[in-house]
Amino acid sequence: MSGPYRIDGGAIDRGRSLAFRFDGRSLSGHPGDTLASALLANGVRLVGRSFKYHRPRGVFAAGSEEPNALVELRGGAWREPNTRATVAELFDGLEAFSQNYRGSLRRDLLAVNDLLAPFLSAGFYYKTFMWPKSFWEKVYEPVIRASAGLGRLSGEADPDSYDKGFLHCDLLIIGAGPAGLAAALAAGRSGARVILADEDFVMGGRLNAETHEVNGRSGADWAAEAVRELASMDRVRLLLRTAVTGAYDHGIYGALERRTDHLAAADGKPRQVLWRIYSKRTILAAGATERPIAFGGNDRPGVMLAGAVRAYANRFAVGAGRRVGVFTNNDDGWRTAVDLARKGVEVAAVIDARDCEPVAEVPGARALMGGRVTATRGRHGLKEVTLATGERIALDCLAVSGGWNPNVHLTCHHGGRPVWHDGIAAFVPGDRLPVGMTVAGAAGGAFNAAGTLTGGHGAAVEALDELGFSVAAGDPPGASDEATDVAPFWHVGESRGRAWLDLQNDVTVKDVEQAHREGFRSVEHLKRYTTLGMATDQGKTANVGALAIMAGQTGRSIAETGTTMFRPPYTPVPIAAFAGRSRGRDFRPTRLTPSHDWAAERGAVFVEAGAWLRAQWFPRPGETHWRQSVDREVLQTRGSVGICDVTTLGKIDIQGRDAAEFLNRIYANGFAKLAVGKVRYGLMLREDGIAYDDGTTARLGENHFIMTTTTVNAVLVFRNMEFARQCLWPGLDVHLISVTEQWAQFAVAGPNSRALLRKIVDPEHDISNEAFPFMACGEVGVCGGTPARLFRISFSGELAYEVAVPARYGEALMAALMAAGEEFGAVAYGTEALGVMRIEKGHAAANELNGQTTARMLGMQRMVSKNKDCIGNVLSERPEMNREDGLELTGFRPVDRSEELPSGAHFLATGAEAATENDEGWMTSVAWSPELGHSIGLGFIRNGHTRIGETVRAWDGLRGRDVAVEIVSAHFLDPDGERLRG
């Protein structure tokens, strides 16, 4: 038998031993143990130090509500702090460490805080570290941070993997205790699709911790049998180790499944899965949490919740003490005494705060009715309690029950407030539940086994009926109807020493009283001021007791005082689980162009453009600076021919009898009269008249157009056009479909581009200047019959084409183009060279179309046709957007040609102070022009076109630059467009 505190019975597998270590000490337990039960079995009572005062603390509860027993699990990069020992399933080789101390756990140097407690009361930080102000960042905060924080993070990247998923069901049942199991059986037998989720690693809930009988057998056996039946049903899914942590809209719930936390190693599988569960109906059968009574020294290791002591005895075969006392205000507390006595654990006394007859006969125990515990003793664990009568009783465990609180948390996630129920002296769910949710069992305030079973069954029958199932649920399981009377009792007034309310945050009764004295009347303020109910346990054992104290202070009832708002998550969810697999390289998808591998093999440097990776430039051996590569690409393209993958541009296939009319309304400029076989540049305005995208559209047939958009706006333009088609002009016959992915498209630019393409385009297609002039388009064959589209358009300002083939041929076409271009010294060029050439040519791009730009600013006001209606036409007429002294796009060059222009610089008149009121515009794009041999820029400046030749300053306060620049035409090269028409 492992551990001196093991007793008979329980649901542990005594046939196998599990070795584990706690603070380096080798111990053993059994399958079925939690770390907490195994520690208790081994007599380890001191398991950690409290958050603020570094008080010795032990295991307090037996479930996820545990406030005290926070430990670090595992080692190295796997180290996980602040884990509740009560939900950590024991496995062979588990390594656990206590936390929050300096020196050793037993001799914690920071326990000095406890001596300073009179100075560390509620609001301590707010009051103490106010002055001198400058000390906060440099002195106070580092010191506070160093001494706070409970456990330690590993400081390394989390080596585990996480995943997410989506589940669907008719009925989600949260909690597999008696109510949840009864509901699941009823629903499963009726053929409904059921998800039954429970945070524990064994289903059955309190049935495993109690000695109830269900249908004439032990509750635990009945639960096991019910689980077996459910597991055999195809439509029922059992989610063990799964906490449903949040209720979201439309019956959607969040749940965390801990898949490998109970194993020594995850073996490459996701450690945890965060589920999104879509349910038609939900039954919340989350049970109830016991609450303590506040009395002097009630935080000492050995003072535990009565229901937890019972769970350790009945389920885990552990006596939490050798000589146990019970302090209760309700009938349920007596069950602990009865069960322990039955198991042979000595029960010294049952101290019941009520003046009533003893509830049960407990062999060997004194019944002290009307009794109250006022103080405890024992340095690292309980040795003795003192009663209000002055009597002292030697105990090493005091099981405390102040009643039970229904776990209403998920009922409040949509803003519902729980309501006070006098009969059970606890909050129960209010009327405003998340849609589709009903509450059954102890979560709804039914505290006996019979009530939970019939409640769960009934809730399922009702839900199934609503969903239209023919219910084949049979009768609910039967159970004994045990007594659950309770008389509210929160705090022993005669207490000596501090009486703790929130063990995790070290909040005492006195703190709550002080907060009230200092004017904090709202529970929400109380929470923030005292830190009550914060951190991993979210005050599950603390909140209601504190409310009661607060209510007592204000003279209001608890119902009037109300609760703080419960928000998701119900139990802690690691950030890693929220991230799931979206980390590192897989943070988001990557889009690759058809020539990506080709470019990568040639050492291309890539740049992100949205989700795309585009080749930025192609370094060649000997090139040590990116500018060398870019300059070469530009010069070679302008000197001969260059090839660039432009597949990323958005492409939209537009067809329909009214396609031309549709485009006429979408674009600011006219498209109705565009001839078949021609391409036109188009500018799109937003409704407010601001230019937002541009591109070219080709007319492939009378009713067939192909539009290109900018890379970044591809989706936006498509979406806006779908909106226009479906909502603005549903009468037009026009259809849209994206073909961005369908076509691989390459720009072939430079004086030798035609010569190159003559080797690629099949000879039956005449691409001479006469047959295929500037702005021509057509369907052609390339490389001996591969279908292709050819467009004679130019972004670079050179004689240029774009050629498109189905994407599967894209990589081969890139290679074919480069091979055909070898005799011309063709280069592949990237987005940098593309950018240089478009700036040299004065073409606007995203830097210019920044959401503030009008057609007039771009010098395109004449394109906004007044002979037709189009999106943005009307609002583009607004006076402010048509000021004579408005901003206009022009070119800029440094007066001293050796200077580099600063992008983003603002224009100021010579001698003007750098102030907002003197601002004349800004530089949008700059580049080094290898053709001109100096820096060039584009920018918006007031009245630009009338100021050509004028000198102003490009002032950049960020980089500390102030450069004299000359205003010039935006068309640095070939202003008359002779090259592209050649």
Partner 1 sequence: MAESPLRARPALDGYNRSIGAVALAEVSGLALVSAAAPQGGDEAFAAALAGGLGAERPATGDSSAGDKFGARVLGMQPDQMFILFEPPDPDRPAETVSAALGGAAYVTDQTDSWAMLRVAGAGVRNALERICMLDLDDAAFPEGRVARTVMEHLAVIVLRDGADSFLLMSPRSSARSFLHAVELSVANLSQ
The residue within the footprint of partner 1, chosen from 653, 693, 798, 956 (CB under 8 A), is: 653
Question: In what side-by-side order are the strands of the sheet with 650-655?
Answer: 679-685, 691-701, 704-709, 650-655, 735-738
Q: Which of 697, 654, 648, 694 is nearest to 675 (CA)?
A: 697
Instruction: Give the interface segment with partner 1, choosing from 310-318, 338-346, 467-475, 650-658 (CB under 8 A).
Output: 650-658
E strand residue ranges, 32-115: 48-49, 56-57, 70-73, 80-84, 94-97
Binding flag, residue 238, partner 1 (CB under 8 A): no
> Does 816 interact with partner 1 (rule: CB under 8 A)?
yes
Distance CA 664, CA 729 (A): 12
Q: What is the torsional sign of CA 718, 721, 726, 727? A: positive
Interacting span for partner 1 (CB under 8 A) from 1-9, 51-59, 82-90, 739-747: 739-747
Q: Are 669 and 660 in contact (CB under 8 A)?
A: no
Residue 706 beta carbon to partner 1: minimum distance, rounded to whole angstroms: 10
Least spacing, CB of residue 842 vs partner 1, in Å: 31
Nearer to partner 1, 468 or 960 (CB): 468
Cβ 784 to partner 1 shortest distance, Å: 5
Strands (E), 248-344: 252-258, 272-284, 288-290, 303-305, 323-328
Asked if 783 interacts with partner 1 (CB under 8 A), we say: yes
Measured in degrees and rounded to the nearest 5, phi and psi for residue 751 equal -60, -25
CB 981 within 8 A of CB 937: no
C-alpha 101: how far from chain center: 32
Say whether residue 719 binds partner 1 (CB under 8 A).
no
For partner 1, give the closer residue by CB, 197 or 365. Answer: 197
CB 553, min distance to partner 1, A: 49
Among 91, 809, 892, 922, binds partner 1 (CB under 8 A): 809
Among 733, 823, 869, 978, binds partner 1 (CB under 8 A): 733
Task: Specify the stretch interacting with partner 1 by CB under 8 A; choose among 175-183, 651-659, 932-940, 971-979.
Answer: 651-659
- The three-state secondary structure class of 852 is coil
What single DSSP character describes residue 524? H
**Shortest reach from residue 78's CB to partner 1, in Å:** 19
Applying CB under 8 A, which part among 110-118, 165-173, 440-448, 871-879 lies near partner 1? 165-173
CB closer to partner 1 out of 9 and 787 = 787
Residue with tokens 């654990």: 345
Binder among 471, 813, 901, 941 for partner 1 (CB under 8 A): 813
| Binding residue (CB under 8 A) for partner 1 from 322, 620, 673, 735 | 735
Which residues are bridge partners to 32 per DSSP?
none
Should residue 779 be labelled a site residue for partner 1 when binding is judged by CB under 8 A?
no
Pick 712 or 732: Cβ nearer partner 1:
732
CA atoms within 13 A on the CB side of 105: 23
Nearer to partner 1, 592 or 607 (CB): 592
- Decide: helix, strand or coil at residue 612: strand
By the rule CB under 8 A, 160 interacts with partner 1: no
Region of 166-174, 288-296, 507-515, 893-901 interacting with partner 1 (CB under 8 A):
166-174
Which range touches partner 1 (CB under 8 A), out of 218-226, 638-646, 799-807, 900-908?
799-807
**Closest by alpha carbon to 410, among 567, 293, 562?**
567
Select 160 or 537, whichever has its Cβ closest to partner 1. Answer: 160
Closer to partner 1 by Cβ: residue 177 or 821: 821
Instruction: Return the range that interacts with partner 1 (CB under 8 A); candidates 3-11, 101-109, 783-791, 845-853.
Output: 783-791
Comparing CA positions, the residue from 492, 485, 483, 484 lying closest to residue 548 is 492
Which residue in 276, 602, 627, 686 binds partner 1 (CB under 8 A)? 276
Instruction: Find the binder of partner 1 among 327, 606, 743, 746 (CB under 8 A).
Output: 743
Part in contact with partner 1 (CB under 8 A); list of ranges 435-443, 539-547, 632-640, 647-655? 647-655
Residue 609 lies near partner 1 (rule: CB under 8 A): no
DSSP secondary structure, 149-218, as one string: -SS---SS---S-EEEEEEEEEEEEE--SHHHHHHHHHHHHTT--EEEE-SSSSTTGGGGTS--EETTEE
Q: Which residues lie across from 252 on neighbouring strands?
A: 278
Residue 131 makes contact with partner 1 by CB under 8 A: no
Question: Smallest gap, in angstroms, from Cβ of residue 263 to partner 1?
Answer: 14
Shortest approach of partner 1 to residue 591 CB, angstroms?
A: 4
Task: Check the CA dihedral 502-508-509-511 and report its sign.
Answer: negative
Quick one: which segment of 422-430, 497-505, 808-816, 933-941 binds partner 1 (CB under 8 A)? 808-816
Q: What are all long-range contacts of 845-852, with beta carbons under 8 Å and residues at least 24 apart?
A: 845/710, 845/925, 846/710, 846/712, 847/903, 847/924, 847/925, 847/938, 848/889, 848/924, 848/925, 848/938, 848/940, 849/691, 849/692, 849/693, 849/694, 849/710, 850/924, 851/690, 851/692, 852/690
Query: Nearest distance from residue 231's CB to partner 1, in Å?
Result: 16
- Contact segment (CB under 8 A) with partner 1 among 162-170, 390-398, 499-507, 669-677 equals 162-170
Secondary structure letter of residue 681 according to DSSP: E
Shorter beta-carbon distance to partner 1: residue 9 or 701: 701
Q: Which residue shows structure tokens 């593309």? A: 834
Q: 243 vs 198, 274, 275, 277, CA distance in Å? A: 6, 10, 10, 12
Q: How many residues bind partner 1 (CB under 8 A)?
A: 58
Among 527, 436, 514, which Cα is nearest to 248's?
Answer: 436
List the one residue from 738, 865, 873, 918 that touches partner 1 (CB under 8 A). Answer: 738
Q: Which is nearer to partner 1, 299 or 653 (CB)?
A: 653
Each residue 242-271 as x (binds partner 1 by CB under 8 A) or -, in order, gives ---------------------------xx-
Residue 611 interacts with partner 1 (CB under 8 A)? yes
Q: Does 392 bind partner 1 (CB under 8 A)?
A: no
Distance between CA atoms of residues 671 and 662, nearest Å: 9
Instruction: Kindly tell me which residue out of 264, 737, 895, 964 binds partner 1, with binding defined by CB under 8 A.
Output: 737
Phi, psi of 186 (to 5 degrees): -60, -45
* Torsion over CA: 574, 578, 581, 584 (sign): negative
Q: Does 787 bind partner 1 (CB under 8 A)?
A: yes
Minimum gap (Å) between residue 167 Cβ and partner 1: 6
The C-alpha atoms of residue 411 and residue 636 are separated, in whole angstroms, by: 69
Residue 679 Cβ vs partner 1, minimum distance, rounded to whole Å? 19
Q: Does 193 bind partner 1 (CB under 8 A)?
A: yes
Residue 784 touches partner 1, criterion: CB under 8 A: yes
Among 15, 131, 133, 166, the residue binding partner 1 under the rule CB under 8 A is: 166
Q: Does 758 help bind partner 1 (rule: CB under 8 A)?
A: no
Contact between 278 and partner 1 per CB under 8 A: yes
Is 806 among the residues that bind partner 1 (CB under 8 A)? yes
Smallest gap from Cβ 812 to partner 1, in A, equals 4
132: preceding bond cis by omega (within 30 degrees): yes
612 touches partner 1 (CB under 8 A)? yes
Token code pair at residue 702: 């009378």
Which residues have a Cβ under 8 Å from the Cβ of 234 and sit 6 or more positions away?
Answer: none
Closest CA to 569 of 540, 611, 601, 603: 540
What are the helix (H) ranges across 623-704? 626-639, 659-666
Residue ranges binding partner 1 (CB under 8 A):
161, 163-168, 193, 269-270, 273, 276, 278, 581-582, 586, 588-593, 611-612, 647, 653, 655-657, 703-704, 731-733, 735, 737-743, 782-787, 805-813, 816
